[in-house]
Amino acid sequence: MAMQAPSREVADLIARCALRDRAAFRALYDRTSAKLFGVVLRILKDRSEAEEAIQEVYVKIWQRADRYVAGDTSPISWLVAVARNHALDILRARRPMADDIDVALEIPDAGPSPERAAADSQERGRIERCLSTLEPDRAEAVRGAYLDGYSYDELAQRYAVPLNTMRTWLRRSLLKLRECLTA
C-alpha cells in the first residue's frame, strides 16, 4: 500500500514505541497530540477533562503500540480511534443509565462479511458521497454521533424527535450507508 511519507513516519514512530523507544514516543506525541487533543476536546467538550483524557490516551498508545497493524488502517486513524474510544468510554461512564429496552437481544448468525477494509485514503470522499444520499438531517446525525460522540438522547433533543424515532432513523440510515459503501 502506498503510504504517504508523513503517514509512514507516524507508522514508524508507532513501531518504535512498540520497541519501547522513548524518544520515538516523544516524537509521536509532538507530531500527533494536536490532532488527538482536538478529538478528545470535541467529544468531551470540557478542557480540563480533555487534558486528563489526552494523558491517558498517550499512556494507552505507549502500552498498545504493538497492537497497531500497519496496512489495516492508516496510523493516524488508529491513533484517532484510540483517542475517540477513550473519550467515548468517559462519556459512557458519565451518562445516566440508559434504558436498554429495545436493543437487539441477540446478534443473529453472521451473513457475508464485508471485504477487508481498504486503506483510508481510498475511502476518503466515499463516505461523504454516501452520506449525501441520506436526508441531510440524518446525515448530520450520523456525523454528530461519530465526531461529537452524541448519544441517542442528545440526538433526539437536537433534532426534536422522540428517542425511538431517532433510533429508527439512525439504524435505517446506517443500513443505507452500508449499502452504499459496499456497492
Partner 1 sequence: MSTSDDMDGGEGRRNALVAEYVLGLLSPAEHDRVHRLIENDQALRAERDFWVSRFAALNEGYEEVPAPDRLWPGIEARAFGDTRAPVKPGFWESLLLWRSIAAGALAVAVAAIGFNLLQPRPDVSSLTTQLVAALEQEGSNVKFVALYDGTGQVRLTALSGDAVPEKDFELWAIQGGNNPISMGVIPANQRSTVSIAPEVMAGWGEGSVLAITLEPKGGSPSGVPTGPIVAKGAVQQI
- Restricted to residues 120-139, the positions that interact with partner 1 (CB under 8 A) are 120, 123-128
Candidates 27, 31, 64, 70: give the one binding partner 1 (CB under 8 A). 70
Dihedral sign from CA coordinates of 118, 120, 125, 126: positive
* Shortest distance (Å) from residue 91 CB to partner 1: 7
Contact between 118 and partner 1 by CB under 8 A: the answer reads: yes
Site membership for partner 1, residue 156 (CB under 8 A): no
User: Closest distance between partner 1 and the C-beta of residue 73, in Å?
Assistant: 6
10: Cα separation from own chain's centroid: 18
x-marked contacts with partner 1 along 6-35 as a string, rule CB under 8 A: --xx-xx-xx--xxx-x--xx--x---xxx
Closer residue to partner 1, CB minimum distance, 134 or 177: 177
One of 49, 64, 140, 145 touching partner 1 (CB under 8 A) = 145
Residue 65 is given by DSSP the state G
Site string for partner 1, 71-110 (x = CB under 8 A): xxxxxxx--xx--xx--x--xxx-x-xxxxxxxx--xxxx
- Total interface residues for partner 1 by CB under 8 A: 95
Q: Is 58 in the site for partner 1 (CB under 8 A)?
A: yes
Which residue type is seen at 22? R
Closest CA to 33 of 53, 4, 3, 8: 53
Termini Cα distance of the chain = 22
Q: For residue 170, state whether it binds partner 1 (rule: CB under 8 A).
A: yes
Nearer to partner 1, 3 or 161 (CB): 3
Q: What DSSP letter does each residue of 6-46 carry, written as one string? A: HHHHHHHHHHHHHTT-HHHHHHHHHHHHHHHHHHHHHHH--
Which uninterrupted H or E stretch holds 145?
helix 136-148
Is 72 within 8 Å of 93 (Cβ atoms)? no
